[in-house]
Chains A and B, each alone.
Chain A
Amino acid sequence: MTFILAVLTTIALINGAVAAEPDVEPAPSCAVPEWLMSAEGELTHVAAAVKDQHRLDVSVVGSGSSALSGPDGARFAYPARLEEALKRLLPGTDIKVTAHVHAHRTTADMAAALPAVLAEDKPSLVIWQAGTVDALQGVEPEEFREKLESGVEGILAAGSDLILMNMQYSPRTESMLGVAPYADVMHWVAQQRSVPLFDRLAIMRHWTDEGTFDLYAATKDYAMARRVHDCIGRALAAQIINSAHLDAEKMQTKPDVSKE
């Protein structure tokens, strides 16, 4: 009995130690291949802000899948991970990523909230994650397209760059939640407005195919969710660097960071 207690205590201690680890364990191979990155559009405002003012303000607008619940969720969700990744890739640049993330928001809700975000943050770049709640609520794809387009126009008119982000790849709910029509709309809108689309759906599917993550896993554990968000943050950072044509290699101090 004492022995079992001792073992349990040890396990609990180890678990506690792991949980207390401040940084997320980076997944070994969640690099995103070139063909999954968007070649559409250029982030000229981002490039100007980084080169001329050495600062970059990013606003992330999204719904529940842009956040993580649990202890310290905000610190582990991709907006915060993006900020970390950008700081590593662009040393000497003042990076600020502000997350405007609220669960259950449709694209119409977010489009309505955008002007306030733009006025408040005056971001060089908006990352707009959309589509999931619309699919959940069965919003008409045509209406979804109109709201998305009006939001995109508002962002571009306000003088910000934009990256659209589509929904997560969620294999376990795939037979219940039809995201494809909404993903198609986002693809078209991004193409029409020459805006990069961060294809989270395809990227996460790629990770599943590669065995990087087991997204079918039923687990209450936050470890995998945190790793996924960390990888999304890194991939987003890479997309920003690519689309803004920032020569990351020249700007960074540590050469080995480029692999991330």
Chain B
Amino acid sequence: MNVASSIAMTVSAPVAPAAVAGERDLRLDLFRGIALWLIFLDHIPENILNWFTIRNYGFSDATEIFIFISGYTGAFVYGRAMRERGFVVSSARILRRAWQIYVAHIFLFTIFMAEIAYVAATFDNPLYAEEMNILDFLKQPDITIFQALLLKFKPVNMDVLPLYIVLLLLFPPMLYLLLRAPTFALAGSVLVYVLAWSFDWNLPAYPNGVWFFNPFAWQLLFVFGAWCALGGAQRLSALLRSRIVLGLAIAYLVFAFFITLTWHVESLERFVPGWLADRMYPIDKTNLDVMRFAHFLALAVVTIYFVPKHWPGLKSPILQPAIRCGQYSLEIFCLGVFLAFAGQFIVAETSGGPLLQAGISALGILIMIATATMISWYKSMEGRSPGSRVKPHDADLAGGGA
């Protein structure tokens, strides 16, 4: 998040001048690409490669990284657009992006419907008489599809894009505020987060319940990312360089690691004192628990310390696949959701074991890389690549939009 060190700002001009935004921080792409892989792996249940995903080693997971970086790149791209072209043009672009994501979400929903309709027609096992009730909504396709279009009915693992859509819809006024009174804007975001916790704010879901990712809570991470991109990181740079902060961050990561370990190794649970468990649990993902947020911050602090902006490794060919995937995040995210569906489907049809699941996971990541490379090739043919600023006024290019 210290990426703003790249945004050469002067203290007298808290709003970054447009000229400095040309250079792309590859770390954003790298970590967003990795986050996309991890989200994909997390969506293929119980495969061996799951053990590589960060959620097994701490409180936060890839979703936090994805939302934060999306806020960061969103502010980076649309913030410049707002300064150069004004509120209306940049807002129109943001809303166009939200619309693209909405269409992508509905496309994925269609694939999901096809899969479950198939399962409903072919799968029958008396052992699962109760579980098969999940297919009941097929009996009311009118209501189900309508609720899906309203983003109220969301299949499992399809919660991130609706969150993203809502965040983008609310982004124009937030960005306007962030450009003028960043501290005030961030304080407002924190206030909404606190109010959401105090008054149980969330959006309704269908058939009942609420959104799995509460937009009123998760907006904090998105806005914080945006705030960092617009000079906040610069303001935090003294903190980020401090050894004490680094030490605290590492200590917290170690603490989170041991707590997470007790979830997997039951015999260790007794080492977690009761008063701590009472305070700590449950660690709420829906409402972005403070412990999760803090864990993400700690991860970010440590990452920035060990991976500086001009770290030579960023140019190494080994990391290019992840960077590529991070540059086309919407496409690769959707592809990942689709591949997770397809992978589960293959495993189910072939009654495959853990080895097949691991194979499918690895293959899925390769397909994601190949697709990102292909998109990059298409864009380079058209003379547009995310690294170069051939058409400097097309803000959507950097960071794949947002």
Contact = CB atoms under 8 A, between A and B. Distances in A.
Given A168-B131, A177-B134, A209 B123 contact: no
Interface string B266-293: 1101000000011001101110000000
Interface string A201-227: 000010011010011111111101100
Contacts of A139: 208-209
Contact of B347 (A132, A171, A176, A222): A171
Interface residues of A, number: 55
B187 interface: no
B278 A192 contact: yes
Interface in A15-73: 35, 38-40, 63-65, 68-70
Nearest to B286: A141
How big is the B interface, by class? 35 or more
Interface stretch (B114-122, B175-183, B385-393): B114-122
A175 B156 CA distance: 6
| Main secondary structure on B side of the interface with A | helix
A218 B124 contact: yes
Interface string B203-220: 001011110000000000
Contacts of B23: none
B131 A225 contact: no
Greatest chain B CB density within 10 A among A68, A174, A215, A228 is at A174
Contacts of B269: 40, 191
Interface stretch (B222-230, B253-261, B348-356, B371-379): B348-356
Interface in B96-150: 112, 115-116, 119, 122-135
B205 A138 contact: yes
B155 interface: yes
Interface of B: 45-46, 112, 115-116, 119, 122-135, 155-157, 205, 207-210, 263, 266-267, 269, 277-278, 281-282, 284-286, 340-341, 344-345, 347-349, 351, 353-354
A64 B208 contact: no
A173 B209 contact: no
Given A69-B129, A225-B125, A228-B127, A171 B134 contact: no
A133 interface: yes
A220 B124 contact: yes
A168 B129 contact: no
